[in-house]
């Protein structure tokens, strides 16, 4: 049989060629988050690419925090980012770095540019600089401060560092080309005065480098072979390369890939922070958020997220992924890994009239039918149980009806076959309050000799032993798949008022009391759920992760059939 040839995406092809040609003995990548918010699904793609490439080709991946904007950064965000990376299953070992580790070196690099006549201190306001920059159709004009002497620039830059000037009064700009077709090359700002307390360096610095200056130089200091970033930085690459060339430092190579965009999600940290600050969501880890901490709290598995990222692929082409595919990937993973639990979200009582009143049985039920080696637990069964209200109809709607109705039979999962004989109805409300059934004693699961063939199987919980819990049912946070694509409207206009529904009194089997925060499970015939950290001794809380039904795959199959 012919051996299947391994395929590589375009970044892996570049790396494979570089290694083959001997440009590098091994590779070093880095993941460089800004500690100004929590990581989201877009960051997950960057993490998987940077760490995944090293897993495939060997080498190392550094974790480097781009902490050059102290007003928006905090240790809270640093710790949250580290938790998320580890949760995804990646390890940076002892290679944890910060741009602030290099502030002294970066300051020296800036001085070197000044000495080479390639940087100058500018007193212009931000509005004046924007006007001088020109446009895509018009060349920029030189700043009146562009021809300051090297000596004056060095002295002014040192005074900026020492705190002699106020915020916004002076900046350091690279001297490149004010007529460049790439506006980012028109004398970009590389340092600004910012008198702000830094979460690591305290008040030691009064100036901070811009991202474009700190980024490439930090890569070079760490000998990063391949600096992988999202596509919006493609226009920044000429500046990245220019700075490395002029400073004559290690030439890291920047390569861009398309971002991860997902329907019904936004990945702007500024906008996500607005959702938190305005109370639309409870926190950064609200299960409706596209943050990794939110997805973890909702019950998404790292394996499901990584499966989704693998299906999205790595390319230069901008893409919009369907949130249904993400949910389907999570569903596929949880189907293999979660225990099945009996739960009833909207209960109605069933009395099995011919079952002994004082009898309780412990019935064996498998934990997960997908396990290679089946394991079992025992659940209590008695005369009174609860089932879902929508599992009963006063009259069967058609011959294919698989649930309970007067005169019909169903199997209770892992228990007996029952037949509805009567029901009690509240005449004022029309609500069914109690269902009466008889059971067939010789129909117990695993030893059924009744010969009966019920069409359906129902979930249930013992009325005497069930635990009351809270369920949080989540829907899309936005009502529109593209909340940022509406001219003249704010994304907040599309907040879904029904994105969270709380069910305060669901019933679950008693085995859930052993579950701890973060554990995932399947409520049989309902969906996948996760134990929320809000759970306590008196009441457990479950977050719905995804529905049980494969709605996304069903839609895809319908679309394929239509095309045929």
- Catalytic residue numbers, as ranges: 34, 259, 269
* Residues 384/464, Cβ–Cβ less than 8 Å: yes
The burial of 245, by beta-carbon neighbours within 10 Å (0-12 exposed, 13-18 middle, 19 or more buried), is given as: exposed
- Phi/psi class of residue 88: alpha, beta or left (left: φ > 0; alpha: ψ in -120 to 50)? alpha
Q: Where are the alpha helices (DSSP H) in 8-132?
A: 10-20, 41-57, 75-88, 103-115, 126-132
The burial of 536, by beta-carbon neighbours within 10 Å (0-12 exposed, 13-18 middle, 19 or more buried), is given as: exposed
- Looking at residue 96, the DSSP 8-state letter turns out to be E
Element (H or E) spanning 297, and its range?
Answer: helix 292-298
State the Cα–Cα distance between residues 358 and 88, nearest whole angstrom: 50
Provide the token pair at 325: 């595919």
* Residues 308/327, Cβ–Cβ less than 8 Å: no
The helix/strand/coil state of 350 is strand
State the Cα–Cα distance between residues 478 and 160, nearest whole angstrom: 45
State the Cα–Cα distance between residues 324 and 547, nearest whole angstrom: 11
* Residues 473/503, Cβ–Cβ less than 8 Å: yes
* Residues 247/113, Cβ–Cβ less than 8 Å: yes
State the Cα–Cα distance between residues 297 and 519, nearest whole angstrom: 10
CA atoms within 13 A on the CB side of 3: 3
Could you give the angle at the alpha carbon of 433 between the alpha carbons of 432 and 436, nearest 5°?
90
């Amino acid at each position: 049989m012919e051996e299947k040839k391994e395929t590589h995406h375009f970044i892996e092809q570049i790396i494979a060629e570089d290694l083959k040609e001997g440009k590098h003995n091994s590779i070093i990548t880095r993941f460089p988050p800004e500690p100004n918010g929590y990581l989201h699904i877009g960051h997950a793609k960057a993490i998987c690419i940077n760490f995944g490439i090293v897993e495939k080709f060997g080498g190392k991946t550094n974790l480097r925090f781009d902490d050059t904007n102290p007003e928006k950064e905090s240790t809270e965000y640093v710790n949250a980012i580290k938790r998320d990376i580890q949760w995804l299953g990646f390890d940076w070992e002892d290679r944890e770095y910060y741009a602030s580790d290099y502030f002294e070196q970066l300051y020296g690099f800036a001085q070197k540019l000044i000495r080479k006549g390639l940087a100058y201190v500018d007193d212009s306001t931000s509005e004046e600089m924007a006007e001088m920059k020109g446009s895509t159709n018009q060349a920029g004009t030189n700043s009146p401060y562009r021809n300051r002497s090297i000596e004056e620039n060095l002295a002014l830059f040192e005074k900026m560092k020492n705190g002699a000037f106020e915020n916004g009064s002076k900046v350091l700009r690279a001297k490149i080309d004010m007529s460049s077709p790439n506006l980012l090359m028109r004398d970009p700002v590389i340092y600004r005065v910012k008198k702000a307390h830094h979460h690591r360096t305290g008040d030691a610095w009064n100036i901070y480098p811009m991202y474009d200056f700190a980024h490439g130089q930090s890569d070079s200091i760490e000998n990063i072979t391949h600096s992988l970033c999202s596509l919006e930085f493609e226009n920044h690459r000429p500046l990245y390369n220019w700075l490395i060339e002029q400073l004559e430092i290690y030439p890291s190579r920047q390569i861009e890939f398309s971002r991860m965009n997902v329907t019904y999600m936004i990945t702007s940290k500024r906008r996500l922070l607005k959702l938190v600050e305005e109370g639309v969501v409870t926190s950064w880890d609200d299960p409706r958020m596209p943050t990794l901490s939110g997805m973890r709290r909702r019950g998404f598995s790292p394996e499901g997220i990584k499966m989704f990222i693998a299906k999205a692929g790595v390319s230069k082409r901008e893409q919009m992924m369907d949130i249904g595919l993400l949910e389907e990937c999570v569903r596929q993973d949880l189907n293999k890994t979660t225990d099945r639990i009996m739960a009833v979200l909207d209960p109605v009582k069933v009395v099995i009239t011919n079952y002994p009143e004082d009898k309780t049985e412990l019935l064996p039920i498998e934990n997960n039918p997908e396990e290679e080696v089946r394991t079992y637990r025992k659940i209590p069964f008695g005369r009174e149980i609860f089932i879902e209200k929508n599992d009963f109809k006063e009259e069967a709607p058609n011959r294919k009806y698989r649930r309970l109705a007067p005169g019909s039979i169903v199997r209770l999962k892992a228990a007996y076959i029952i037949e509805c004989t009567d029901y009690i109805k509240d005449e004022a409300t029309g609500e069914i309050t109690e269902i009466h059934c008889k059971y067939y004693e010789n129909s117990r699961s695993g030893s059924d000799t009744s010969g009966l063939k019920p069409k359906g199987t129902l979930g249930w919980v013992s009325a005497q032993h069930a635990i009351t819990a809270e369920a949080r049912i989540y829907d899309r946070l936005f009502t529109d798949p593209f909340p940022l694509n509406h001219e003249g409207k704010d994304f907040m206009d599309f907040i879904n008022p029904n994105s969270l529904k709380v069910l305060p009194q669901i019933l679950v089997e008693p085995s859930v009391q052993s579950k701890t925060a973060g554990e995932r499970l399947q409520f049989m015939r309902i969906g996948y759920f996760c134990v929320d950290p809000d759970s306590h001794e008196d009441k457990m809380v479950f977050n719905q992760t995804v529905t049980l039904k494969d709605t996304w795959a069903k839609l895809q199959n319908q679309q394929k059939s239509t095309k045929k």
